[in-house]
Structure 1
Amino acid sequence: MVQTLMYGVPSGCSFGSIVALEWLGEPYRLCRIEMPADVQSEAYRRINPVGETPTLLTGTGERISESMAILHHLGARGIGKGLSFAQGTPEFDRFNRVLAFLNTSFFTAFGPLWYVFEHGLEGPEKDALRAYGAAKVTKAHADLEAMLGDKDWLLGDRPTFADAYFAGIARWTKYHDVVDRRDYPGLQRLFGKLEADPAVRFAHAIERGEPATSTGGFRGEVTLGEVLRQQALAA
């Protein structure tokens, strides 16, 4: 069975897992999950009871949810390519630290802003949440800029799955005009390099529903209904 990633659109954090699969080069399929319509549906909750993306169905039928868990699962097979590192090594500890920062501080900084965006708030409640979110996003960018330093990539001289995850979250500034990435030259440089990467361009095209050229192991898209039927047959 070919592993299948269920990714959320528009602009889900699952973007990083698509990039990671492209970099890894193993065969995989994609399943598009519209947010909020499909992701909260009874059908999708049969795959992921929490009703969030991404979810990875492995080649043996296991279900893995949460971006960090998926990236570590894929990373165990990407060590030879430098995409992750062997657990128990100092390199893995640094990788895990950066990935954890992205998964907590960087990701969650946008939470108040997304709430305002998705719920159409107005008045004092909107102002308070927007100010709080702006402060969190600004601090998260400053902290990550310091963490990056003068390195080419988040972990050094080559990209890892931490950079893939960053690519999917950093673009959220286009929805929330609270920081100018040009104020963080290291992050702006990193974001620019990632945007030029073939795997990132592929992930953008996939999300937009445009023709996409894979340089990895992409084996096409399947529907949620097809995934559910396959799960039923495998049960």
Structure 2
Amino acid sequence: MTPIDTAAYRSRWRRYHPAVKGVLCGGLLACALLLPPWPGAALVGAATLAAAAAARVPFGLLARVATAPLVLIATSAAPLLLAVGGSGDLGWADGGAERAATVVARASAALGTQLLFVLTTPMADLLARLARSRLPTALVEVVALTYQMLMVLMQTAQRVTSGQAGRLGYHSRRSGIRSAGALGGVLLVRSLDRARRLQEGLACRGYTGRLTVQTDEQPVRLVELAAAAAPALLIAALSLTQAVLL
């Protein structure tokens, strides 16, 4: 189990229906994308951090998970600061700083809302309820099986890498390349073998095109849905009020 899954299972909000958390995070995401970046994105970020604290999401894990996407956002927005002239000269773009700040603010706020949902909703709870919706059953089951296979392959890769490191498989560049190639070969063979055994197991159990999974019932209460929608409505009202006053 990955640290993200562990945090989702330990979250205080695990007892709430995924639809409630979807309303909260979806509303904040819409605010981050549609409202003016100031103060919309700032308010969304503050609300996301407050919600993460209420759900007891480890802020250290949240920072580690968000680091790589934030670096990507920053590097993607950096070219907006520059402009190429007709003679090929490179210079600062007019209004580039404002556009870059807008992109960074919107993308960072949107990222926070998505991470909040991921760190408070286990994949098993989400997939089990998607199977009951109108989504194609085959699509949901492919996602579930792919997720399971990824978890198995990650654990296999960690064990093989640990064994290689214990045998000094990465003590030099040449041996590291050789060990990485061997790791790729092992993962390919084991993934094919795992898929074959999974297919045979489903066939032996009389698979008819639908996986039946028992899940705990989590009722959706109107009070919880209203409370989940309140932050987005409040942020929208504050942002639009400021826009009108300015």
Same fold by TM-score, threshold 0.5 exceeded?
no
TM-score where L is the length of structure 1: 0.29
Structure whose residues are more often strand by fraction: 1
Q: Of the two, which has the highest radius of gyration?
A: 2
Structure number having the greater helix percentage:
2
